[in-house]
Amino acid sequence: MIPPMIEAQKNRREILGGAAGAAAATLWPRAIRAQAAPRIVIVGGGFAGASCARALREADARLAITLVEAQHTYTAPPLSNGVLGGTRTLAQQQFGYDKIAAAGITVAIATATTVDAQAHSVTLSTGDKLRYDRLVVAPGIALRFDAIPGYSAAAAAQLPHAWTSDGTQIDLLRRQLEAMDDGGLVAIVAPVNPSRCPPGPYERASMIAHYLKTKKPRSKVVILDSKDTFTMQELFLKAWKELYPGLLEWKSLSSGGNVASIDIAKKTIETDFDNYTFAVANVIPPQIAGPIAKLAGVADRTGWCPIDPVTFESLQQKNIHVIGDAALAGAMPKSAFAGSVEGKLCAAAIAALLVDKKPAVPKLVSNCYSVVAPDYAISIAGVYHPVNGEYVDVEGSGGVSPLDAPAALRAQEAKFADAWFRTNTAEIFG
C-alpha cells in the first residue's frame, strides 16, 4: 500500500516535474545545471534528518528532496522519560510525516538497505532505487545487542531498552512498571560513553523513582553503571537526596556497577560484585551509528562517522553527509537539540555547495534539560565551533545549572524543557 503522504506528494511532484528536472541536471552544462533540480536524499527522519529536510526545503525551492524513514510514526525520545513517570502520555511524544510531505518533501516510508557511493544511489526495502546528488545519512544509533552476555535484540521484548524512536519500547517499559508489585526492584543498566543523551539514564531513574514514590513506595530503583562519573552528577545526586531518599541507588563501575551477565529466565543481573533480582529491567546497551552508516562506508572503526565539521560531509565518502547521533562531532553531545541544529546547518552547507559557494563556518548550541521531578529540571548547555577540524566548546561558554538554586529556577527549567520540545518539534514536524 502506498501511504497517503506519498500519494499526495506524487501529484505535487508531477506538477513540479521533479524527476524530469533531476534527470536533466545530469545532462546540462554546469552553468545551466545550477538552475536545475539537484536530488537530495536523506535517510532517517528524526530530529537531525527531518530538520535537515525542512531547512533544505526553505533554503532552495528547486531541490528534489526525498526523506526516507523506516517508521510511519516517530516517537521522540526527549521527555519520553515523563511517560514512565506518569507526567506525559505516549501520544505527546509521537509525530507523523504528513506535514513534511505537505511542505514539498517526498517522504518514503521504507528502510534504506544499501548505499552505492560510486553510483550515487540508495536502495530501499521496497526494492526502489533512489539516485542522489548529495546524500544525508541521519539514522541515529544502533544498539550493540552483542555487548552484554544474556541480552539480545530478542530479549528487548522482555527487557526493554526504550532508547530509540520505536514507541513500542517505551510503552512496554511503562506497562511493566504499572504491572509490577509494590516492593520490587527496577534495574537500569547504563551504557559507556559515547552514547545518546548522556544524562538520559539518570533522568530516567529519576522519573521512575517519581512514579514509584507516588504509586509503589516500597519499591526501589538501582542504576548499574559502566562508568565512574556521569554528566550533571552533582546536580542529580543532590536532587535524589532531596526527592528520592532510600529509593534510588547509583552503583558506579568501581562500586561494582558493571554488568557481567543477565539471566532473563531467572530475572537476575550479575555484576562484578553482586547479584540483583529485578522485577523490571531497563537495559541500555552500548551504541554505535545506525547500520546504514556502515553500509554506506561512512562509519569508522569506532562505529561512528567522522565528518568535516563545516559541511558535515563524511571524511570517508564524498557527497555523503552525516548528522545527528551517528556523527562524530567532537565535544558536542548526542542530543536532539544538537541534532536538529546540525540538520539546519548541514542543509545550509549543501545549499551553498550546490551553487559552488563556500559554506559559512557554523556555530552550534546544545541545551539539554533533564526533568528529575515535575517542576524540577536541570540542564547542561554548550556552544560549539570547529577548531582544527573538530568541534570544541567555545571558551567560557556553556555549563550546568547552579548547584544551589531556588525551587522557582528548577520549575522554570522544567517549563523551558516543555516549551523547547513543543517549539522544536513544531518546527520539524508541524
Partner 1 sequence: MRLPPHIGEGITQTLIMRTKRLLPALALALMPANVIAAPAAPPPPPGVAACTGCHPKSGGDAAIPQLAGHSADDIIAAMKAFRSGTRPATVMDRIAKGFSDDEIRVIAAWYAAQK
Ligand X SMILES: Cc1cc2nc3c(=O)[nH]c(=O)nc-3n(C[C@H](O)[C@H](O)[C@H](O)COP(=O)(O)OP(=O)(O)OC[C@H]3O[C@@H](n4cnc5c(N)ncnc54)[C@H](O)[C@@H]3O)c2cc1C
234 is a contact residue toward partner 1 (CB under 8 A) = no
Nearer Cβ to ligand X, position 128 or 182? 128
Which is nearer to partner 1, 180 or 349 (by Cβ)? 349
Single residue of 70, 110, 143, 323 touching partner 1 by CB under 8 A: 110
Which residues, in sequence order, are CB contacts of 68 under 8 Å at separation 6+? 41, 42, 43, 44, 45, 108, 110, 111, 112, 122, 124, 130
Closest C-alpha to 186, from 150, 154, 160: 160
> Other CB atoms closer than 10 Å to residue 70's CB: what's the count?
20
Single out the segment in contact with ligand X by CB under 6 A; choices: 39-47, 219-227, 256-264, 305-313: 39-47
81 counts as binding ligand X under rule CB under 6 A: yes
Number of CB atoms found within 10 A of residue 223's CB: 24
Count the residues of the shown chain that bind ligand X, applying the rule CB under 6 A. Answer: 39
Nearest to 380 by CA among 202, 140, 251, 209: 202
Which residue lies nearer to ligand X by CB, 222 or 341?
Answer: 341
- Using the rule CB under 6 A, is 88 a contact of ligand X? no
Q: Return the range that interacts with ligand X (CB under 6 A); candidates 16-24, 145-153, 331-339, 381-389.
A: 331-339
Q: Are 228 and 254 in contact (CB under 8 A)?
A: yes
d(CA 352, CA 395) in angstroms, rounded, equals 28
Cα 288 from Cα 290, distance rounded (Å): 7
**Cβ-closest position to ligand X:** 46
Would you give the binding string for partner 1 spanning residues 333-372, x where CB under 8 A is met?
Answer: ----x--xx--xx--x--x--------xxxxxx-x-----
Spatial contact of 338 and 329, defined as CB atoms under 8 Å apart: yes
Q: Which is nearer to partner 1, 289 or 414 (CB)?
A: 414
Partner in contact with 265, chosen from partner 1, ligand X, none, beta carbon below 5 to 8 Å by kind:
none
Site string for ligand X, 116-135 (x = CB under 6 A): --------------------
C-beta closer to partner 1: residue 55 or 307: 55
Q: CB of residue 17 vs partner 1: minimum separation in angstroms? A: 6
Smallest separation, CB 65 to ligand X (Å): 15
Q: Among partner 1, ligand X, none, what binds residue 78 when CB lies within 5 to 8 Å by partner kind?
A: ligand X
Interaction residues for partner 1, span 126-185 (CB under 8 A) = 126-131
CA distance 312 to 304: 13
* 16 near partner 1 (CB under 8 A): yes
Is residue 392 part of the contact set for partner 1 (CB under 8 A)? no
Pick 111 or 193: Cβ nearer partner 1: 111
Does position 69 bind ligand X by CB under 6 A?
A: yes
Q: Looking at 82, 167, 191, 200, which residue binds ligand X (CB under 6 A)? A: 200
Candidate list 14, 146, 182, 228; residue touching partner 1; CB under 8 A: 14
Dist CA 374 CA 396 (whole Å): 31
Axis crossing angle, helix 47-59 with helix 407-429, rounded to the nearest 10 = 60
Q: Does 285 bind ligand X (CB under 6 A)?
A: no
Smallest Cα–Cα separation from 49: which of 137, 172, 133? Answer: 137
In the complex with ligand X, which residue's Cβ is closer, 161 or 213?
Answer: 161
Contact of 347 with 52, CB cutoff 8 Å: yes
Contact 191, 280 (CB under 8 A): no
**CB–CB of 209/240 below 8 Å?**
yes
Q: Residue 7 binds what, of ligand X, partner 1, none (CB under 5 to 8 Å, by partner type)? A: partner 1
Chain contacts with ligand X (rule: CB under 6 A): 43-49, 68-71, 74, 77-78, 80-81, 111-112, 138-140, 163-165, 196-197, 200, 204, 290, 292, 324-325, 334-337, 339, 368-369
